[in-house]
Amino acid sequence: MNNNKVKFTRLAEENIVILVGRLTQDAELRRTNLGVSVCSFTIAISKRIKDLTTNLWKNTNPTFVPIVIWREQAEKLVDKLKKGIAVHVQGQLKTSKWIDTNGKVQSRLEVIANRVQCLSIIKNSNNVEKQQNNDELIIEEETHNIVDDSTLSDNDTDNSNEEIPF
């Protein structure tokens, strides 16, 4: 009789997501049947790579990530989350499941945000730039300084280690 038992050690699990991307459309605010506010939007995230033949920076195919904000924070940020705005999002991954109109179970992976920070410079109707209010939702996290690279030209975004200030 073989009494060799394999012992496994359970490791701690963490569910933390940090993303920077641009909204693909204006955020949408809705309410649950119980009146709880929910703000939903999707961000596009592209990796920038340098084309060695042209020596220019290009975006790769984007990854689209659905983001959800709940309650008072949803109401606070919905008016600031407009198409094209760059955002820094921190949160947790969650799989949402529902039954569609055909009775089939559907699911999607989304980020439940506990921090959203607007990073973009926006233009008003007179084409004058103004700084987006750096409004953010922070539930438990401290503030971090983030640089928006959307205002940099292709030549300014060289990823060489010589330009890192530390």
Instruction: Give the residue-averaged pLDDT of 42-55.
Output: 90
For 89-125, write each residue's pLDDT tens digit. 999 999 999 999 999 999 999 999 999 999 976 555 5
| pLDDT at residue number 2 | 62
Report the alpha-carbon distance of residue 73 to residue 84 in Å, rounded. 20
Tokens of 44: 């596009």
Residue with tokens 């407009």: 82
**CB of 157 within 8 A of CB of 48?**
yes
Q: Which amino acid is at 136?
A: E
Q: Using 50, 70 and 90 to split pLDDT, how confident is the model at 87?
A: very high
- 135 vs 79: CA distance, rounded Å: 11
129 pLDDT above the threshold of 50: no
The CATH classification of domain 17-46+57-142, taken from the options 3.40.50.11540, 3.20.20.70, 2.40.50.140, 3.30.70.20 = 2.40.50.140
Facing residues of 40 across strands?
Answer: 28, 68
